[in-house]
Amino acid sequence: MMLMYNPAHPGKILRRYTDSTGLSITEIAEKIFISRKNLSMILNGHAGISPEMAWKLSAAFGTTPQFWINLQVNYDLWQAKQKVDISGIEQLSKPAA
């Protein structure tokens, strides 16, 4: 699968959810049992979403953990693609079916 666009950092998507609550970042952090600093780091694109965080966010916002993990993986893959040169790598083989 080739990602052809620059996906938003998951924190940008998370901000849409947090903004819709009417709660402060501190209040949200307390409700999902994390530090305000940790939540702020994610919201500002300085930290990613771990599997544990994905579970907490899914419980808080009525989503699935896969939703949050997929956002993170898509973001990470696109960022890595910008840095890695695979042009000279030869495909070796395909696994037997």
Cα–Cα separations (whole angstroms), residue 97 to 91, 92, 94: 17, 16, 9
Model confidence at 16, pLDDT cuts 50, 70, 90, reads: very high
44 domain residue, yes or no: yes
pLDDT of residue 84 exceeding 70, the answer is: yes
34 domain residue, yes or no: yes
**pTM for this one?**
0.87
Domain region containing 46:
10-79
92 domain residue, yes or no: no
Task: List Cβ neighbours of 67 (8 Å cut-off, separation of 6 or more).
Answer: 54, 58
pLDDT in tens, 37-72: 999 999 999 999 999 999 999 999 999 999 999 999
Q: Tokens 């979403």 identify what position? A: 49
Q: What is the CATH number of the domain that holds 18?
A: 1.10.260.40
The number of folded domains in the chain is 1
Distance of CA 62 to the CA centre of its chain: 16
